[in-house]
């Protein structure tokens, strides 16, 4: 199965009914909902398993079910469907306990109406058009944020909407346990990378802890020479690395040592994301560019200059994208091409663009950096693979968060960027350069973003709804 993940995460499928229709109808409801769940698991291409739960028919059953879902550590969300009418006052006390994401599936066992044979028994059994509206009312009345998907459960549109939501809800579930290491605090005087970490944890679940860069340096010092040799061999196998001078190889070995030390530091603290700050590299020989690139490629969230919001968002989007084609990276709008009618943006960072975006095998090179006052850092150099993508940024205004998303088309550079010693992406923003930039800037969108060629706008819509934050969509 494409993108199948196996981390234990599951979703519960909850079918609502009532006792009004008699045991025969309820047996059929039971059978039908099992059949739908089996179909979804076998043929839906779902990234996570859906677990069938016994049909709920009374307020007591419903009130017991939702706290159970809340407490189940592997349950990342619930899918609700009203096969028949299920009076919604029965649902109030149960739904009040629900904090995990919900998808309301407004579906039906039959695709077509049996026009010639339809009778009242059929009507009593198949009334989600009716029951799901009653359920929808009480969800709206209770202010429950949920994704509503209407259509036959086998339709490609419904299955795709489900697949997207499952990935987003699983990322949300993981976000509740994510720890972000902010190494070396914030680039001095920069505004957008700051923010209220307490409010962020209340809103999103992830926690951010500060560490002195010396804590990382201690780990780097402990790395054995043999480990460095092995990692450099892996670099040779993975990237374009021609014969280089001894001095260059020393820099690459130093970068490998940093990668091993930083990885050990993060693993020891169970951190899935981290930030660095080129103004605080005390004890590091070079800016950990290659390490950041390779840790990103392994699923770590990353933000430069202390940007913990982008680091957490990158972790979440990488989790959503797990196993899907296309890369996801930290990104920064850098410079414009303003030729009339051919406007585009060159995005890069000093070094830290994730090689999952690369169009071809990256080159591993060492060049001066020009800032930070450290030794020349190693980095992977490549152009991003052309195709549709999004840039997404998470910004904070007091205790209010906003997700700004721009649909873009990554294109090849007009000419090889022979003198630019960093990975980069060139893109055409939608709807056009000026409208995109004006709306992004008006929305307070950061100069840092997550560039995703793997998951698109629908994922961001689901994410902002689950998180309960504002979404500004530019397309």
Minimum distance from CB of 332 to Mn ion (Å)?
5
Minimum distance from CB of 448 to Mn ion (Å)?
6
Footprint of Mn ion on this chain (CB under 5 A)? 304, 332
Q: Smallest Cα–Cα separation from 290: which of 334, 232, 343? A: 232
Q: Smallest Cα–Cα separation from 12: which of 175, 128, 172, 169? A: 169
Q: Smallest Cα–Cα separation from 282: which of 386, 373, 366, 356? A: 373
Structural contact between residues 376 and 319, judged by C-beta atoms closer than 8 angstroms: no
Minimum distance from CB of 353 to Mn ion (Å)?
11
Complex with Mn ion: residue 332 or 461, whichever CB lies closer: 332
Helices 246-268 + 225-238 axis angle, to 10: 110
Minimum distance from CB of 290 to Mn ion (Å)?
17
Q: Is the dihedral of CA 287, 171, 74, 100 positive or negative?
A: positive
Q: What gap in Å lies between CA 450 and CA 398, rounded to an integer?
A: 22
Minimum distance from CB of 351 to Mn ion (Å)?
11
Minimum distance from CB of 373 to Mn ion (Å)?
17
Helices 197-204 + 308-320 axis angle, to 10: 20
- Residue partners of 63: CB distance under 8 A and separation at least 6: 93, 94, 97
Q: Is the dihedral of CA 246, 251, 256, 261 positive or negative?
A: positive
Complex with Mn ion: residue 175 or 304, whichever CB lies closer: 304
Complex with Mn ion: residue 256 or 425, whichever CB lies closer: 425
Complex with Mn ion: residue 32 or 280, whichever CB lies closer: 280
Structural contact between residues 278 and 187, judged by C-beta atoms closer than 8 angstroms: yes
Pairing mode of beta strands 179-183, 207-211: parallel
- Residue partners of 242: CB distance under 8 A and separation at least 6: none
Complex with Mn ion: residue 103 or 328, whichever CB lies closer: 328
Pairing mode of beta strands 328-337, 344-348: antiparallel
Complex with Mn ion: residue 185 or 332, whichever CB lies closer: 332
Complex with Mn ion: residue 16 or 301, whichever CB lies closer: 301
- Residue partners of 198: CB distance under 8 A and separation at least 6: none
Minimum distance from CB of 363 to Mn ion (Å)?
22
Complex with Mn ion: residue 332 or 462, whichever CB lies closer: 332
Helices 156-175 + 308-320 axis angle, to 10: 140
Helices (H), 176-224: 197-204, 213-221
Q: Using the 8-state DSSP alphabet, how is residue 21 labeled?
A: G
Minimum distance from CB of 345 to Mn ion (Å)?
15
Complex with Mn ion: residue 302 or 382, whichever CB lies closer: 302
Minimum distance from CB of 421 to Mn ion (Å)?
17
Complex with Mn ion: residue 406 or 464, whichever CB lies closer: 406
Pairing mode of beta strands 273-275, 400-411: unpaired
Minimum distance from CB of 38 to Mn ion (Å)?
49
């Amino acid at each position: 199965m494409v993108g199948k993940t196996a981390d234990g995460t599951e979703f519960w499928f909850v079918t609502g009914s009532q006792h009004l229709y008699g045991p025969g109808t309820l047996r059929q409801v039971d059978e039908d909902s099992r059949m739908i769940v089996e179909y979804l698991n076998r043929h839906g291409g779902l990234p996570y398993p859906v677990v069938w739960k016994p049909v709920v028919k009374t307020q007591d059953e419903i009130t017991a079910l939702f706290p159970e879902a809340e407490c189940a550590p592997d349950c990342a969300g619930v899918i609700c469907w009203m096969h028949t009418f299920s009076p919604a006052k029965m649902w109030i006390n149960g739904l009040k306990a629900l904090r995990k994401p919900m998808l309301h599936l407004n579906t039906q066992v039959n695709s077509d109406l049996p026009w010639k044979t339809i009778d009242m028994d059929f009507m009593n059994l198949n009334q989600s058009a009716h029951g799901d509206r009653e359920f929808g009312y009480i969800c709206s009345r209770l202010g429950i944020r949920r994704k509503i998907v209407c259509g036959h459960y086998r339709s490609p549109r419904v299955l795709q909407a489900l697949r997207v939501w499952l990935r987003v809800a699983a990322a949300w579930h993981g976000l509740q346990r994510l720890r972000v290491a902010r190494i070396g605090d914030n680039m001095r005087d920069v505004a957008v990378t700051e923010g209220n970490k307490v409010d962020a944890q209340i809103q999103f679940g992830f926690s951010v802890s500060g560490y002195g860069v010396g804590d990382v340096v201690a780990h780097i010092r402990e790395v054995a020479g043999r480990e460095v040799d092995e990692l450099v061999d892996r670099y040779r196998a993975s990237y374009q690395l021609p014969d280089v001078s001894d001095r260059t190889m020393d820099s690459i070995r130093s970068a490998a040592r940093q990668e091993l030390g930083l990885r050990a530091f993060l693993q020891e603290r169970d951190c899935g994301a981290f930030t660095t700050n080129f103004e605080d590299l005390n004890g590091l020989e070079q800016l950990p560019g290659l390490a950041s690139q390779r840790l990103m490629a392994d699923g770590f969230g990353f933000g430069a200059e202390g940007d913990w919001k982008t680091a957490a968002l990158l972790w979440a989007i990488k989790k959503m994208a797990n196993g899907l084609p296309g890369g996801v990276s930290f990104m920064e709008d850098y410079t414009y091409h303003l030729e009339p009618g051919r406007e585009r943006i060159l995005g890069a960072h000093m070094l830290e663009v994730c090689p999952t975006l690369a169009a071809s095998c990256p080159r591993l090179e060492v060049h001066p950096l020009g800032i930070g006052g450290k030794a020349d850092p190693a980095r992977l150099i490549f152009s991003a693979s052309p195709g549709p993508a999004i840039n997404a940024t998470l910004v904070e205004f007091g205790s209010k968060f906003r997700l700004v998303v721009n649909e873009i088309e990554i294109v090849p550079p007009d000419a090889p960027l022979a003198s630019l010693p960093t990975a980069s992406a060139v893109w055409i923003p939608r709807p056009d350069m000026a409208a995109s930039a004006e709306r992004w800037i008006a929305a307070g969108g950061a100069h840092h973003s997550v560039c995703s060629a793997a998951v698109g706008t629908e994922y961001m819509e689901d994410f902002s709804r689950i998180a309960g934050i504002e979404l500004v969509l530019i397309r």
